[in-house]
Copies of this chain bind each other. A is one copy, B any other.
Amino acid sequence: MLKGNAIVGQSGGPTAAINATLSGVIRGCLSEIREGGCIEKLYGMKNGIEGFLEKRWVCLSEMFAREEDLRVLEQTPAAALGSCRKKLPDPALEGSKEFYEKVFGIFREENIRFFFYIGGNDSMDTVMKLSAYAKMCDYEIRVVGVPKTIDNDLVGTDHTPGFGSAAKYLAVTMQEIIRDCAVYTTRAVTVVECMGRDAGWLTASTAIPRAVGRPAPDLVYLPERAFDMEAFFAALEKKFEEKPNLVVAVSEGLEFADGTCVGAGQQSGAVDVFGHKYLSGTGKALEYAIKERFGCKVRSVELNLPQRCAAHILSDTDISESIAIGQKAAKSAAEGMSGGVVMLRRTEGEEYGYELCFEDVRNVANQTRFVPDEFINAEANDVTDACCAYLLPLIRGERELIWEDGVPKHVVIQ
C-alpha cells in the first residue's frame, strides 16, 4: 500500500465556501490518519503552488484536530490558506523540466503522495499538468482536483461548490433591494450589476425566488446573449406601464452584438476631480443611458466583493456539499484515484439529490459551462421558470453560525 503525506492548496478567486471544501479535505484525511490508513500527515501550502515551492507549509492535521475549529473554518470566507494565480508551464515543453523537477523533488523529499488542489478552472489545469508529469517521471502521487467557483461555469458538474452561497446572497439581497426600491411612488430604475464575465449563473440567481411566488427583478440580462440598447429601452417602457419602480439585474460581462463591452461606454464623457476619464462599469453605463433616455431617477448598484465573501449568509446545501466533496476527494485519493476532479451529479426525481463522482480532469479543464438556452427567455431579457426551479434547491437551508461579539467567528491560519 502507498503510504505517505498529503498536501492541500487553494487557488483562484476566493469564495464563501472554499474553506468548507478545505475542511472536507481535512476531515477526509483525518479519518484516514486516525484509522491508520495510507495518509500520515496533511499539510497545507500557503498561497497555492507559490507557497508550495517556498515550503510555506502548515500542518493541518495537527492544527484542526478539534471539531469546533473545523466548524469555524467552514464559516470563514476566502481562502484560509491564501491563494495565487499561477499558471503552470506545459509539462510537454522542453523548458518546463526545471520547474517540475523542483516540484517533484519536494514531493520526494517530504514523501508527499497525495496532492489536493481546490480551485476553479485554472486550478484544474494545474491538476491536469501535475498528474501528467507524475506519469512522465514515474513518481507515484495521487493528484486530485476539488472544484470551487462562485461563477458555476465548470464543465462536468451539475453546479460548483461556492455557487449556492453566492446565489443565496444574490437572491436574498435582490429581495431586499426590490423592497427598498418600492417605497417611493416616483418613476425610478435601479440597475444591479452582478459578477459573471462569461456565464450568467450569478445574475440568473437574483430571480430564483420567483419559483416560489416571490418578487424578482423586472428584467434580467445575461452575457450569453448580445445586449441591445434599443430593445432594453423598449422593455423598460413596457414595464413602466405596469409600475413606476423597476429593478434590472445585469451581468458585468454584457456585450453588444459587435463584441464591445456595455461597460466600456465612454458616452458620459465625465471626468473626475483628477481629470481621469470615468471608465464606467456595465451598471454605471446603463445608469447614464437610462437617465438620458427617460430622465427619471436611476441608481446603479455593483454588488462587488460581497458576492464571493458574504459568509454570514451561507446556503446550508452549498456548505454541506462543499464539505462532502472535500471528504470524497480525500477518500478517492486514498482508494487510488488520481488525475481527476470530484464532481456533483444531480439525481433524477422530484426531490433534489446529488451523488459525487470522479471525473477525468482532461474532460473538464479550460472549458466554460454557460447558462443553457432553455433557461433564457426568447426576448433575452429574463430567465425562465425552469431556470429558477432548477436553481432553487441550491440556496435552500441556512448554515447555523458561531457568532462572537456581534460578528461571525473566523479562523486565521498564520
Contacts and interface: CB of A to CB of B under 8 A. Distances in A.
Given A265-B278, A274-B285, A180 B77 contact: yes
Interface in A184-227: 184-185, 190, 208-209, 211-212, 214
Given A176-B312, A182-B82, A273 B301 contact: no
A310 interface: yes
A305 interface: yes
Contacts of A322: none
B310 A173 contact: yes
A305 B274 contact: no
Interface stretch (A34-42, A363-371, A406-414): A406-414
- Size class of the contact patch on chain A: 35 or more
A310 B312 CA distance: 12
A154 interface: no
Given A175-B408, A272-B281, 13 more contacts: A16-B176, A78-B176, A84-B185, A171-B406, A180-B305, A209-B405, A209-B406, A214-B405, A214-B407, A265-B273, A274-B289, A395-B406, A395-B407
8 contacts: A47-B183, A77-B180, A171-B406, A176-B306, A176-B310, A266-B272, A392-B405, A392-B406
A288 B311 contact: no
A293 B84 CA distance: 25
Nearest to A288: B276
Task: Find the residue from A179, A299, A302 having the highest chain B CB count within 10 A.
Answer: A179
Nearest to A19: B179
B305 A304 contact: no
A360 interface: no
A177 B185 CA distance: 35
Nearest to A301: B304
A77 B313 CA distance: 16
Interface in A100-128: none
Contact of A284 (B78, B209, B272, B308): B272
A208 to B, nearest CB: 7
A292 B274 contact: yes
B179 A82 contact: no
Nearest to A212: B405
Interface string A338-378: 00000000000000000000000000000000000000000
Interface string A382-400: 0000000000100111100
Contact of A408 (B172, B211, B292): B172
A79 interface: yes
B183 A14 contact: yes
Interface in A53-79: 76-79
Contacts of A291: 268
A150 to B, nearest CB: 12
Contacts of A96: none
Contacts of A141: none
A183 B410 contact: no
Contacts of A408: 172, 175
Q: Which 9 A-B pairs give the minimum distances between C-beta atoms?
A: A265-B272, A395-B406, A180-B309, A83-B183, A78-B179, A176-B309, A212-B405, A78-B180, A276-B288
Contact of A405 (B185, B278, B305, B396): B396
Nearest to A15: B180
